[in-house]
């Protein structure tokens, strides 16, 4: 009976011991740095040396050594010294160290094995030291030791088969972990703590094809974007997925290029291309399109050195510095990517989603014979194609629009490439640069389309917050809902929630609610949910099961969430009696029509505080009920929803209508209430109706929208419902529900029913609070209508809550002066948005296009181009044929240029719009214009000659139209 407890202790205690984040605690306590957020995000001994210095590293070694020793001594409490169970304990320790503690566990194993088998351990350490001194290759020595370790155990313990198997399992586990986590030794040595640099430099002695890895790494390896930049890291990932990517190497920001240039030896027959891979370039936050240098046709070592220096220097070019400042990006570092140059027959760029219409599934391709640089330079107008990939269960096809010199078969191949890469990146739209050499379609670059991020989805929001929404409703609902969801996500994620802005969970487009699918997809990935989460949110894709590793990593957070779910009934009952009932009783005592604005604001703040607590239950209770119903497979018909206020009100109304029909056998639907007044029995019916209206008068057509009148304010709808019930339109009887309930397992149904009942009580409390909130704002509006501050009923709902607070304070004179215009503008926008019938399910980016075709009338004087950045602008033309003499530019200026290269970017930030003679949607100017939100029309032939300085024009960047005017202002 003693040994089973030993096995249990090993399998439970050792993983927890391994996962104990002692290194993270030590580093944070002594340096204030969180290892989980910097560098490779490993929590390891080498990371402690790198980021914390020698003293922190020594403490980290001691803490991890003690873990390994403790695991072995724990085993000896239950088993004989030297048994194979000591190796099992180390395996359990390493598993916990990897899955929970984010480290490899090398130090744990080394010191634990020294205690377990000193003879083998000492011999292996001696052999490893000699090998590393000779070979200067950490990786060779690392995996060599893992191969020799079980071999030596087998030689010395030939008869102990369990120990041999345990040693082989431990070595295999360590080898697998080494392939899964980034190596902290690959971090730039010069960015480490000064006292650790010498040691790290010695330990980084890896050899790659005759080169030190500190000088260069290959695209064949798993690269970290935090070290080599997004461009190189993405290409290495695409290459490892199996897509054709030209062979390449990466020079880290602080490394010396001398050894690299000697090794590569470019020539006329084997030219190289040198490209930037800055930290933060080609990321979801900024594309940095064209901001840094690219050098083609590098054919000698001297030219390679110059090209590398030229690319590195471009990081500090004034336009690049200004671009980073405009985007709010930090100055970091520039890695350099060197690749074999593809001899292009055809090349181009592709967007997996149309960046202009921002709707639909069209893939936009621009192509030309020759090099792709002529397309992104904006100096040549490429051929344009639109493609649609149609994927059936067992086959796929590509539908193509557009013709040109580039073969149709190649364009279809490019379209399918773009389609597959978007799916690989979980639905994030991709900007892809490609080249075809006559045999192979090469991927030269893939990056997120920054202007199409984030992706907003109406898929879920349409059910949660339907219809058009007033500003006041949104200014209250959004922080309440986002705050509670943020609390739940933070509970599960812990430290991994850092850097997530939960206030960005939802927004309004076209006065409708949209959820941030990009943010939620990121959250789901961090929570270990399947990688298809983003596609599920945006397109309803099926989800696979989460991995065991992801579940294990999130086990502590999921445990906390489960605890909240199990305590839901107890917690809600406590708050229901102590907080909600008491609060609603206090509110019922107030006569809002007699309160002055300052006291109404106090009342509103009191209600909002109750709503903050109510929102927690309004999210957790339905979620809990839905999960329990799914787990126990209880059908909808087996659940009693009578506690839900809408259902309870309908049943009560049905009962009153049944009694009314017995009194009025024949009645006029238009005169029912007048006819009921004519008899004492009818008066009782009307009294029951009024009591129902008092009990459920807080309900409305849209329960989450305080701008919608309640039943108490507008009883017409419930009166119509009453008449319909009298006419025979009764709700379905509950008898069937009762029969189904009996058929269901009493235990299972009760387990779910309790949550459904809580959900109903929560809905009642939440709806009552929202009604009280609405009545408070209506009372405030009446005061302001009487004083003349507001002009029309309903005006208050076109303000946001912050503005209401400032108006009550009375110290914002500017707001008071502009109030009429502000309200009228928002009312006009609201009415316009209300008329939209077809609202897109998905919106890409923060500036959604008009959901309907533009209806503006244009004059006959129209220039047609390519719409490259949507939106409309009107202003005065300023023709610039070069950057030699840059005039004053403001939002009233429409720039007209021959082409747009990266140097034009600072001008676009100040201009109101852009017209270019050549270029397409994917040229640098178009990309930058979209990032700055400036309308742009490209490929307007002869624009710099047809248009004159001072001429008034109107441009439509969605349709690619320039409307001319004869209105010339003297210069």
**What pLDDT was estimated at residue 583?**
96
Distance CA 953, CA 947 (A): 9
pLDDT digits (tens, 9 = 90+) for 395-417: 788 999 988 999 999 999 999 99
Q: Picking from 58-67, 330-339, 471-480, 607-616, which range would have the lowest pLDDT averaged per residue?
A: 330-339
DSSP 576: I
Distance CA 929, CA 909 (A): 8
Distance CA 796, CA 677 (A): 38
Average pLDDT over residues 97-113: 83
**Chain centroid offset of residue 300 CA:** 44
Question: Pick the residue with more confidence: 609 or 139?
Answer: 609
Distance CA 853, CA 851 (A): 7
Residue with tokens 């139209």: 961
Question: Pick the residue with more confidence: 214 or 37?
Answer: 37
Average pLDDT over residues 841-853: 73
**CB-based contact 796:473 (threshold 8 Å):** no
pLDDT at 360 over 80: no
Nearest of 900, 868, 905, 865 to residue 882 by alpha carbon: 900
Q: Picking from 98-107, 530-539, 641-650, which range would have the lowest pLDDT averaged per residue?
A: 530-539
**What pLDDT was estimated at residue 376?**
59
Residue with tokens 């590195």: 312
**Confidence band, pLDDT 50/70/90 cuts, at residue 734:** very low
Q: Picking from 317-326, 448-457, 909-918, which range would have the lowest pLDDT averaged per residue?
A: 317-326
What are 122-131's contacts with CB under 8 Å, separation 24+? 123/152, 124/148, 124/149, 124/152
**What pLDDT was estimated at residue 801?**
97
**CB-based contact 923:382 (threshold 8 Å):** no
Preceding omega of 454 cis (within 30 degrees of 0): yes
pLDDT at 707 over 60: yes
Q: Picking from 295-304, 362-371, 747-756, which range would have the lowest pLDDT averaged per residue?
A: 747-756
Question: Pick the residue with more confidence: 257 or 794?
Answer: 794
Average pLDDT over residues 714-735: 71
Q: Quote the Cα angle for 135-138-142, to 5°.
A: 110
**What pLDDT was estimated at residue 969?**
46
Contacts of 51 (CB under 8 A, 6+ apart): 27, 31, 33, 35, 38, 39, 192, 193
Q: What is the pTM of this model?
A: 0.62
Q: Picking from 64-73, 171-180, 456-465, 693-702, which range would have the lowest pLDDT averaged per residue?
A: 456-465
**What pLDDT was estimated at residue 426?**
78
Distance CA 399, CA 662 (A): 66
**What pLDDT was estimated at residue 733?**
44
360: left (phi over 0), alpha (psi -120 to 50) or beta: left
Distance CA 937, CA 378 (A): 12
Nearest of 874, 877, 867 to residue 946 by alpha carbon: 877
**Chain centroid offset of residue 799 CA:** 29
**Confidence band, pLDDT 50/70/90 cuts, at residue 189:** low
DSSP 21-39: -HHHHHHHHHH---GGGST
**Confidence band, pLDDT 50/70/90 cuts, at residue 858:** very low
pLDDT digits (tens, 9 = 90+) for 197-208: 555 555 554 433
Cα within 13 Å of Cα(26), Cβ side:
24
Helices 138-156 and 161-180 pack at an angle, to 10 degrees, of 170
Distance CA 23, CA 36 (A): 11
Cα within 13 Å of Cα(112), Cβ side:
31
Q: Picking from 275-284, 509-518, 616-625, 656-665, which range would have the lowest pLDDT averaged per residue?
A: 275-284
Average pLDDT over residues 895-914: 75
pLDDT digits (tens, 9 = 90+) for 743-766: 445 555 677 888 889 988 998 999
pLDDT at 740 over 50: no
pLDDT digits (tens, 9 = 90+) for 8-60: 888 888 888 888 888 888 888 888 888 877 777 778 888 888 778 888 888 88
**What pLDDT was estimated at residue 556?**
81
Which range in 51-55, 69-73, 424-428, 862-866 is most confidently predicted, on average pLDDT? 69-73
Classify 482 as helix, strand or coil: helix
Instruction: Give me the torsion for CA of 220, 224, 228, 233, rounded to 10°.
Output: 50
**CB-based contact 943:917 (threshold 8 Å):** yes
Classify 682 as helix, strand or coil: helix
pLDDT at 835 over 60: yes
Distance CA 918, CA 368 (A): 14
**What pLDDT was estimated at residue 206?**
40
Taking the CA atoms of 195, 200, 202 and 203 in sequence, report the sign of the dihedral they define.
positive
**Chain centroid offset of residue 345 CA:** 38
Which range in 128-137, 275-284, 703-712 is most confidently predicted, on average pLDDT? 703-712
Question: Pick the residue with more confidence: 890 or 311?
Answer: 311
**What pLDDT was estimated at residue 698?**
92
pLDDT at 971 over 50: no
Strand partners, 878: 895
Greatest C-alpha distance within the chain: 110
Which range in 480-484, 495-499, 550-554 is most confidently predicted, on average pLDDT? 480-484
Average pLDDT over residues 718-730: 77
**What pLDDT was estimated at residue 415?**
96
Average pLDDT over residues 164-192: 75
pLDDT at 633 over 70: yes
Residue 295: phi and psi, rounded to 5, are -115, 120
Contacts of 616 (CB under 8 A, 6+ apart): 484, 487
**Confidence band, pLDDT 50/70/90 cuts, at residue 218:** confident
Residue 831: phi and psi, rounded to 5, are -65, -45
Nearest of 388, 329, 771 to residue 588 by alpha carbon: 771
Q: What does the block give as tokens for 543?
A: 């989800």
Question: Pick the residue with more confidence: 332 or 328?
Answer: 332
**Do β-strands 396-401 and 334-340 pair in parallel, antiparallel, or remain unpaired?**
unpaired
What is the share, in percent, of the chain residues with pLDDT greater than 90? 31
Question: Pick the residue with more confidence: 222 or 356?
Answer: 222
Burial class of residue 731 in the structure, from the number of CB atoms within 10 Å of its CB (0-12 exposed, 13-18 middle, 19+ buried): exposed
**What pLDDT was estimated at residue 308?**
93
Distance CA 115, CA 93 (A): 15
Average pLDDT over residues 653-674: 90
pLDDT at 445 over 90: yes
CB atoms within 10 A of CB 737: 16
pLDDT at 353 over 90: no
pLDDT digits (tens, 9 = 90+) for 551-596: 666 778 778 888 999 999 999 999 999 999 999 999 999 899 999 9
**What pLDDT was estimated at residue 295?**
92
3-state percent breakdown (helix, strand, coil) of the chain, nearest 5: 55, 15, 35
**Confidence band, pLDDT 50/70/90 cuts, at residue 904:** low
pLDDT at 140 over 80: no
Residue 874: phi and psi, rounded to 5, are -130, 140
Average pLDDT over residues 459-482: 83
pLDDT at 394 over 50: yes
Residue with tokens 């989980």: 36
Residue with tokens 């909808």: 636
DSSP 869-931: E--EEEEEEEE-SSSSS-----TTEEEEES---GGGHHHHHH-SEEEESS--TTSHHHHHHHH
**What pLDDT was estimated at residue 589?**
92
Distance CA 952, CA 892 (A): 10
**What pLDDT was estimated at residue 739?**
38
**What pLDDT was estimated at residue 703?**
73
What are 823-829's contacts with CB under 8 Å, separation 24+? 823/790, 823/791, 823/795, 823/798, 823/799, 826/471, 826/798, 827/795, 827/798, 829/511
Average pLDDT, the chain: 82
Distance CA 355, CA 364 (A): 8
**What pLDDT was estimated at residue 735?**
38
CB atoms within 10 A of CB 323: 24
**What pLDDT was estimated at residue 499?**
80
**What pLDDT was estimated at residue 132?**
57
- Helix H, strand E, coil C: the string for 732-744 is CCCHHHHHHHHHC
What is the share, in percent, of the chain residues with pLDDT greater than 70? 82
Distance CA 964, CA 955 (A): 9
Q: What does the block give as tokens for 232?
A: 């190189």
Nearest of 647, 652, 653, 645 to residue 726 by alpha carbon: 653
**Confidence band, pLDDT 50/70/90 cuts, at residue 682:** very high
Nearest of 465, 477, 458 to residue 797 by alpha carbon: 477
Distance CA 682, CA 709 (A): 28
**R_g (Cα) of the chain, nearest Å:** 34
Q: What does the block give as tokens for 833?
A: 């948005």
pLDDT at 664 over 70: yes
Q: What does the block give as tokens for 662?
A: 């017995």
Which range in 44-53, 307-316, 523-532, 798-807 is most confidently predicted, on average pLDDT? 798-807
pLDDT at 897 over 70: yes
Helices (H), 161-300: 161-180, 197-203, 225-241, 258-264
């Amino acid at each position: 009976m003693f040994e089973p407890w030993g096995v249990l202790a090993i399998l439970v205690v050792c993983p927890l011991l391994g996962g104990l984040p002692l290194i993270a605690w030590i580093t944070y306590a002594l340096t204030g740095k969180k290892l989980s957020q910097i560098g490779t995000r490993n929590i390891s001994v080498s990371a402690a040396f790198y980021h914390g210095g020698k003293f922190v590293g020594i403490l980290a070694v001691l803490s991890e050594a003690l873990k390994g020793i403790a695991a072995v001594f724990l085993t000896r409490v239950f088993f004989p010294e030297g048994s194979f169970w000591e190796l099992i304990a180390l395996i359990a320790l390493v598993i916990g160290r990897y899955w929970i503690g984010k480290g490899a566990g090398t130090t744990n194993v080394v010191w634990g094995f020294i205690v377990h088998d000193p003879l083998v351990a000492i011999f292996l350490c001696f052999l490893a030291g000699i090998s590393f001194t000779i070979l200067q290759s950490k990786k060779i020595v690392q995996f060599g030791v893992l191969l020799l370790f079980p071999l030596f155990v087998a030689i010395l313990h030939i008869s102990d088969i369990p120990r041999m198997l345990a040693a082989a399992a431990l070595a295999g586990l360590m080898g697998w972990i080494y392939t899964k986590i980034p190596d902290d030794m690959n971090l730039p040595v010069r960015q480490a703590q000064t006292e650790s640099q010498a040691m790290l430099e010695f330990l980084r002695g890896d050899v790659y094809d005759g080169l030190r890895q500190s000088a260069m790494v290959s695209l064949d390896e798993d690269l970290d974007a935090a070290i080599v930049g997004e461009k190189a890291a993405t290409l290495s990932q695409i290459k490892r997925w199996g897509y054709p990517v030209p062979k390449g190497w990466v020079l880290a920001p602080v490394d010396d290029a001398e050894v690299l240039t000697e090794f590569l030896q470019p020539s006329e027959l084997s030219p190289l291309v040198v490209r930037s891979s800055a930290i933060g370039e080609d990321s979801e936050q900024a594309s940095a399109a064209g901001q840094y240098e690219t050098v083609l046709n590098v054919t000698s070592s001297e030219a390679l050195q110059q090209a590398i220096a030229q690319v590195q220097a471009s990081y500090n070019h004034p336009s690049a510095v200004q671009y980073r400042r405009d985007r709010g990006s930090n100055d970091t570092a520039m890695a350099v990517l060197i690749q074999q140059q593809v001899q292009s027959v055809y090349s181009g760029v592709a967007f997996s989603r149309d960046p202009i219409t921002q709707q639909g599934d069209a893939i936009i391709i621009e192509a030309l014979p020759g090099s792709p640089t002529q397309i992104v330079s904006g100096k040549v107008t490429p051929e344009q194609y639109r493609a649609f990939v149609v994927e059936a269960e067992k086959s796929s096809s590509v539908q193509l629009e557009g013709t040109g010199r580039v073969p149709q078969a190649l364009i279809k191949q490019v379209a399918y490439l773009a389609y597959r890469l978007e799916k690989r990146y979980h639905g994030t739209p991709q900007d892809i640069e490609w080249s075809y050499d006559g045999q192979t379609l090469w991927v030269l670059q893939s990056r997120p389309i920054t202007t199409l991020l984030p992706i907003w989805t109406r898929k879920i929001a349409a059910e949660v917050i339907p219809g058009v929404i007033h500003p006041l409703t949104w200014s209250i609902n959004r922080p309440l809902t986002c705050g509670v969801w943020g609390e739940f996500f933070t509970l599960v994620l812990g430290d991994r929630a850092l850097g997530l802005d939960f206030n960005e969970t939802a927004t309004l487009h076209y006065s409708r609610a949209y959820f941030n699918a990009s943010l939620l997809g990121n959250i789901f990935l961090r929570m270990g949910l399947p990688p298809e989460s983003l596609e599920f949110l945006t397109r309803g894709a099926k989800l696979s099961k989460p991995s065991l590793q992801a579940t294990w990593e999130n086990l502590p957070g999921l445990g906390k969430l489960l605890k909240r779910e199990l305590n839901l009934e107890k917690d809600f009952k406590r708050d229901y009696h102590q907080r909600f009932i008491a609060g609603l009783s206090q509110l019922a005592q107030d006569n809002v029509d007699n309160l002055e604005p300052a006291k109404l604001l106090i009342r509103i703040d009191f209600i909002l505080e109750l709503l903050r607590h109510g929102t927690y239950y309004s999210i957790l209770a339905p979620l809990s009920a839905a999960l329990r119903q799914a787990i126990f497979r209880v059908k909808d018909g087996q659940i009693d929803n009578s506690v839900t206020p809408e259902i309870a009100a309908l049943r009560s109304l049905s009962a009153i209508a049944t009694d009314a029909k017995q009194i009025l056998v024949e009645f006029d639907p238009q005169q029912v209430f007048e006819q009921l007044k004519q008899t004492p029995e009818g008066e009782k019916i009307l009294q029951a109706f009024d009591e129902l209206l008092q009990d459920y008068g807080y309900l409305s057509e849209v329960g989450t929208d305080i701008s919608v009148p309640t039943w108490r304010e507008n009883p017409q709808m419930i009166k119509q419902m009453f008449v319909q019930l009298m006419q025979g339109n009764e709700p379905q009887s509950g008898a069937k529900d009762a029969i189904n309930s009996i058929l269901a397992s009493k235990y299972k149904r009760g387990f779910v029913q309790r949550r459904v009942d809580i959900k109903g009580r929560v809905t009642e409390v939440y709806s009552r609070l929202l009604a009280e909130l609405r009545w408070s704002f209506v009372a405030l509006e009446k005061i302001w209508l009487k004083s003349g501050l507001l002009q029309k009923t309903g005006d208050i709902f076109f303000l946001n809550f912050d503005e209401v607070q400032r108006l009550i304070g009375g110290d914002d004179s500017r707001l008071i002066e502009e109030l009429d215009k502000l309200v009228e503008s928002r009312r006009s926008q609201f009415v316009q948005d209300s008329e939209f019938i077809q609202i897109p399910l998905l919106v890409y980016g923060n500036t959604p296009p008009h959901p309907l075709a533009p209806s503006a009338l244009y004059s006959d004087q129209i220039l047609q181009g390519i719409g490259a950045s949507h939106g409309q602008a009107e202003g005065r033309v300023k023709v610039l044929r070069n950057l030699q003499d840059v005039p004053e530019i403001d939002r009233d200026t429409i720039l007209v240029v021959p082409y747009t290269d990266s140097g034009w970017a600072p001008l676009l930030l100040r201009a109101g719009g852009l017209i270019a003679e050549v270029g397409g949607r994917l040229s640098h100017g178009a990309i930058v214009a979209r990032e700055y939100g400036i309308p742009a029309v490209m490929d307007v032939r002869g624009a710099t000659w047809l248009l004159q300085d001072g001429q008034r024009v109107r441009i439509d960047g969605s349709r690619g139209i320039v409307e001319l005017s004869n209105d010339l202002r003297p210069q």
